[in-house]
C-alpha cells in the first residue's frame, strides 16, 4: 500500500482553465485570489465514488456521488470519468469556480500498487491542471477517518479488506486483492455464491428457488443461459448487484440465503482476526469500525456480522468512523495546501 506523499504541481497551459475547459471570468478570478480556498476529497470503489468539497475551515460545502472508480475493475478511463463526474458535480453544486479549488485527494480502490497509483495520479494531473494531487487507496482513508490510536477498520463493499494500526503507529492490511485473489465475504463473493447455489438447484430439479427467481428478475435475464452470457460479459456488474437479493431472501426466511450471509459475515470477521494477529493486538484494546456498501441495509446481516466480529476480536471497542472516507480524503487534501 503506497501513499503519494510528495505531490507535484503540473503547470497548465492556461492556469485559469477549469476541469470542464471553461475559463472563469477575470473578475471572479481576482475575487477568489483573496477568498477561501477549497479542496476535493474522493472515496472511490467498485460501485460508487463519493466526493466532498471542503473549505479551509473543514466545513463541507457540497457533496456528490459518481460511478465506480476502481481502475482494476472499470479501467483507468472509467475511473477517471467517475472521479471527474463527482468532482464537477460538487463544484457546480457549490457554485464556485474551479480556480478556487487548490488540491484534490482521491482514495481509490485498486491503486495500492505503485504503477496503478502513479498512472491514476498522472491522469488526474492532466484533468485538473494546476491542482495539488494526491492518490492513495480507499483503505488509507479509513485510518484517517477513525482517528488516532490502535484501530482496525473493516471494509465491506464490492470488495473486502481490513486495514489497521497499532499503538506505535505501525500499519498493515489484509485482503483488498480483488475477486481473483480474494475478496472473501464481499458483495461480489456473496452474489457469485448465490448464483452458483441457485443454478445448481435448477440443474438438479429443473425448478428455480425463490432466490433463483429473484436473481433472474434483478438482472433481467429470462433464463439461466441468458444470465451466463451476462456474467461472462460483465461479472462486476452482475454479482455485486445480487447482494441485495440475498439480503431480501434472508430476511424473508430463506435458509439458503441466511446460511450464505452467515458464511459471509464469518469470512469478513476472519479478515479482522488475521489483522489482529498481524498487529499483535490480541491482548490489547483497540477501536474497531466497519464501513462499506454492505452495511446498514439489513438488520439481519448487520447483527450476524457484529456477532462474528465480537468472537474474532473480543477486546475490541466498537466505534463509528469519526469522518466519512470522503471527508478523510478532504482532510488529506487540506494538508497539501501551502500556507495562506
Range of the domain at 212: 149-321
User: Does 311 share its domain with 330?
Assistant: no
User: Does 87 share its domain with 179?
Assistant: no
User: Does 162 share its domain with 254?
Assistant: yes
User: Does 89 share its domain with 156?
Assistant: no
Number of domains present in the structure of the chain: 2
CATH number at residue 83: 3.30.420.40
Q: Residue 6's CB: how many other CB atoms inside 10 A?
A: 6
**Does the residue 17 lie in any domain?**
no
User: Does 117 share its domain with 175?
Assistant: no
> What's residue 14's pLDDT?
32
User: Strands, DSSP E only, in the chain?
Assistant: 38-44, 49-55, 60-66, 101-108, 132-136, 151-156, 160-165, 171-175, 286-291, 316-318
User: Does 126 share its domain with 182?
Assistant: no
| CA–CA gap between residue 21 and residue 183 (Å, rounded) | 39
Fill in the DSSP letter of residue 149. Answer: S
Task: Give the position of cell 452495511.
Answer: 295
> What's residue 19's pLDDT?
37
**Does the residue 194 lie in any domain?**
yes
**Does the residue 1 lie in any domain?**
no
Q: Which three cell numbers stand for residue 37?
A: 480556498
**Does the residue 204 lie in any domain?**
yes
> What's residue 114's pLDDT?
84
| CA–CA gap between residue 320 and residue 288 (Å, rounded) | 8
> What's residue 45's pLDDT?
87
**Does the residue 19 lie in any domain?**
no
User: Does 178 share its domain with 121?
Assistant: no
User: Does 195 share its domain with 74?
Assistant: no
Cα-based torsion angle of the residue sequence 11, 14, 16, 21 in order, rounded to the nearest 10 degrees? -110
Q: Tens-of-pLDDT digits for all 340 residues of the chain?
A: 334 444 443 333 332 243 333 334 444 444 444 478 999 999 998 889 999 999 999 999 999 999 999 998 899 999 999 999 999 999 999 999 889 999 999 999 888 888 899 999 999 999 999 999 999 988 889 888 998 899 999 999 888 999 999 999 999 999 888 788 878 999 999 999 999 999 999 999 999 999 999 999 999 999 999 999 999 998 988 999 999 999 999 999 999 999 999 999 999 999 999 999 999 999 999 999 998 889 988 999 999 999 999 999 999 999 999 999 999 999 999 999 998 7
**137: Cβ contacts below 8 Å, ≥ 6 apart:** 1, 107, 108, 109, 110, 111, 112, 117, 176
User: Does 42 share its domain with 159?
Assistant: no
> What's residue 17's pLDDT?
40
User: Does 104 share its domain with 220?
Assistant: no
**194: Cβ contacts below 8 Å, ≥ 6 apart:** 211, 215, 242, 245, 246, 257, 260
User: Does 117 share its domain with 179?
Assistant: no
> What's residue 72's pLDDT?
86
**Does the residue 11 lie in any domain?**
no
User: Does 82 share its domain with 193?
Assistant: no
Amino acid at each position: 500500500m503506497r501513499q503519494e506523499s510528495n505531490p507535484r504541481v503540473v503547470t497548465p497551459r492556461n492556469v485559469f482553465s477549469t476541469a470542464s475547459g471553461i475559463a472563469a471570468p477575470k473578475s471572479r478570478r481576482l475575487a477568489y485570489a483573496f477568498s477561501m480556498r477549497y479542496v476535493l476529497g474522493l472515496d472511490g470503489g467498485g460501485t460508487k465514488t463519493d466526493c466532498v468539497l471542503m473549505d479551509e475551515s473543514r466545513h463541507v460545502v457540497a457533496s456528490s456521488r459518481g460511478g465506480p472508480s476502481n481502475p482494476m475493475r472499470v479501467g483507468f478511463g472509467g475511473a477517471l470519468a467517475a472521479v471527474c463526474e463527482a468532482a464537477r458535480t460538487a463544484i457546480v453544486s457549490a457554485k464556485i469556480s474551479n480556480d478556487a479549488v487548490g488540491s484534490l485527494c482521491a482514495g481509490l480502490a485498486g491503486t495500492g500498487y505503485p504503477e496503478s497509483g502513479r498512472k491514476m495520479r498522472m491522469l488526474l494531473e492532466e484533468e485538473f491542471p494546476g491542482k495539488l494531487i494526491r492518490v492513495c487507496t480507499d483503505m488509507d482513508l479509513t485510518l484517517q477517518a477513525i482517528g488516532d490510536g490502535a484501530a482496525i477498520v473493516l471494509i465491506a463493499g464490492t470488495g473486502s479488506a481490513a486495514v489497521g494500526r497499532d499503538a506505535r503507529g505501525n500499519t498493515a492490511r489484509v485482503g483488498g486483492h480483488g475477486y481473483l485473489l480474494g475478496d472473501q465475504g464481499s458483495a461480489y463473493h456473496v452474489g457469485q455464491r448465490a448464483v452458483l447455489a441457485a443454478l445448481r438447484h435448477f440443474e438438479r430439479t429443473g425448478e428455480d428457488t425463490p432466490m433463483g427467481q429473484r436473481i433472474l428478475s434483478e438482472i433481467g435475464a429470462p433464463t439461466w443461459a441468458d444470465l451466463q452470457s451476462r456474467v461472462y460479459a460483465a461479472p462486476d456488474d452482475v454479482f455485486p448487484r445480487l447482494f441485495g437479493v440475498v439480503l431480501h431472501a434472508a430476511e424473508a426466511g430463506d435458509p439458503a440465503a441466511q446460511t450464505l450471509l452467515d458464511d459471509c459475515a464469518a469470512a469478513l470477521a476472519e479478515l479482522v482476526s488475521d489483522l489482529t494477529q498481524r498487529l499483535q493486538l490480541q491482548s490489547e484494546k483497540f477501536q474497531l469500525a466497519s464501513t462499506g456498501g454492505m452495511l446498514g441495509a439489513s438488520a439481519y446481516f448487520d447483527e450476524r456480522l457484529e456477532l462474528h466480529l465480537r468472537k474474532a476480536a473480543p477486546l475490541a471497542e466498537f466505534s463509528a468512523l469519526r469522518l466519512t472516507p470522503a471527508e478523510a480524503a478532504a482532510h488529506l487534501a487540506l494538508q497539501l495546501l501551502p500556507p495562506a
